Amino acid sequence: MTDNRRFNRVLIANRGEIALRIQRACRQLGLETVAVYSDADRESRHVQEADIALCIGPAAASRSYLDRDGLLLAARATGATAIHPGYGFLSENADFADAVEEAGLTFIGPTGTSIRMMGDKIMAKRTMLAAGVPCVPGSDGPLPESPDEILALAEKVGFPVIVKASGGGGGRGMRVVHRAEDLIEAVGLTSREAQQAFGNPTLYLEKFMQKPRHIEIQVLCDTHGTALWLGARDCSLQRRHQKVLEEAPPPGIDPAVIAEIGERCAAACRHIGYRGAGTFEFLYEDGVFAFIEMNTRVQVEHPVTEQITDIDIVAEQLRIAQGDRLTIRQEDIVFRGHAIECRLNAEDGLTFLPSPGTVTRWDLPGGPGIRVDSHVVSGYTIPPYYDSLIGKIIGYGATREEAIARLQVALAEMKVEGISTNIGLHQDLLANPTVRKGSMDIHFLEKWLEERA
């Protein structure tokens, strides 16, 4: 690795809680930060604390946080020589990663080639199979043109099946099909949606699993051939394929089973020459792991892994991008205690509709084992243009019970006024017997919401 990857000023191409999280890691490492913001985020906390702050456009993300040329110009204008994309926005845009590096800057993340490979879910599954990672059974490639062939494929996999967009993400571009007679229409609909949302109509198909848990493995890889796995997270509590609450380690799964799949993920990373932080997502049912996709960026739920490993994932991303060797060894990584993250959303408690507006009261909880990652302060106005995540409360304890108890105290202490939040939902979840047992599958939350509606 040549020295020209080294940097001392980082442009943070994101907003909200993750922008602040990245800024904290940069400052801790003595790196200067450039905050770029849209007109709607002028008052944001990280903007005020940045070494340099620059407005890059209007509220619409397409003209600010997604404006690749604008971001490159901003880097040039401010002397930033590295760009951290956070999650969402351009974080998994291979062309952007390439453009950053072609401009002579450092993209804090994997190569464009890795991002491109994993962004194409069909190619990702093929690559993983070749690297010895087990996958959810399915079409093993794009769906054929002919309806008869599609039907034959689905019959072979067995109904119910899930039709998915190869370029999909964010829980969009997939449709569950229970009966053969509904398949062809569902394929047409999903393909058109995929074309519109991701510019790619290609679909594939998988067995729709009935009661899986969503279990994922965090990896960290340097540019010198070291690939580590940092344990697993359970993200089964989801609504509309969006995670609501996450925890580490996954309750009730034998650590030896997790270690085995973790080793395979690390081996796959070495196989493809992966660099930076990444996550392998699996469905887990009846003791078997089946890969669904890889995320080539830092994830919203990374703090639960940080809490149980004592590893600062964002700081490691920055060090890896500088070309440094990982100083952690796999055998030194120990998983201690239990951590649970509640995603705080500005949304209506019943309808789940976004609830933007001015936060008139924002009293944060504290005490042992409580971590809050949030960009919100009292008086802050949550803009209506972006996703509704306003922060995360992470509870840590020696045991899962202690983590839950601490979170319950924290959620009760947290006082928010001026907007609606999902704090009540988290309180109900943490009091729920199934959640307390730790045996919920990915369909649990939606079923439970339906029952109580």
Q: Among all residues, which ones are annotated catalytic?
A: 297
Are β-strands 288-295 and 227-239 bridged in parallel, bridged antiparallel, or unpaired? unpaired
Q: Least CB distance from residue 286 to ligand ADP, whole Å?
A: 13
- 67 or 341, CB closer to ligand ADP? 341
- 242 or 381, CB closer to ligand ADP? 242
**Cα–Cα distance, 86 to 22 (Å, whole number):** 8
**Cα–Cα distance, 373 to 379 (Å, whole number):** 17
For residue 146, what is the DSSP state? S
Q: Least CB distance from residue 394 to ligand ADP, whole Å?
A: 20
List residues near ligand ADP by CB under 6 A. 136, 162, 168-172, 206-209, 212, 214, 238, 241, 281, 283, 292-293, 442
Assess contact for 17 and 390: CB atoms under 8 A: yes
- 171 or 367, CB closer to ligand ADP? 171
Assess contact for 248 and 304: CB atoms under 8 A: yes
How many CB atoms are located within 10 Å of the residue 421 CB?
A: 21
**Cα–Cα distance, 422 to 271 (Å, whole number):** 41
- 242 or 378, CB closer to ligand ADP? 242
Amino acid at 262: G
- 124 or 370, CB closer to ligand ADP? 124
Looking at the DSSP bridge assignments, the partners of residue 204 are 164
How many CB atoms are located within 10 Å of the residue 379 CB?
A: 12
**Cα–Cα distance, 211 to 96 (Å, whole number):** 37
Q: Least CB distance from residue 228 to ligand ADP, whole Å?
A: 22
Alpha-carbon radius of gyration of the chain: 21
Q: Least CB distance from residue 445 to ligand ADP, whole Å?
A: 10
Sheet strand arrangement including 9-12? 52-57, 32-38, 9-12, 82-84, 106-107
- 164 or 319, CB closer to ligand ADP? 164
- 153 or 442, CB closer to ligand ADP? 442
CA 123 to mean position of chain CA atoms: 20
Tell me the CA end-to-end span of the chain in Å, nearest whole number: 57
Assess contact for 263 and 85: CB atoms under 8 A: no
Q: Least CB distance from residue 295 to ligand ADP, whole Å?
A: 8
The tokens for 256 are 């030896």
**Cα–Cα distance, 7 to 82 (Å, whole number):** 6
Assess contact for 298 and 314: CB atoms under 8 A: yes
Q: Least CB distance from residue 169 to ligand ADP, whole Å?
A: 4
Amino acid at 133: V
**Cα–Cα distance, 39 to 150 (Å, whole number):** 47
The tokens for 393 are 């409360």
- 169 or 201, CB closer to ligand ADP? 169
- 139 or 374, CB closer to ligand ADP? 139
Sheet strand arrangement including 172-177? 172-177, 161-169, 203-207
Closest CA to 13 of 2, 24, 23, 4: 23
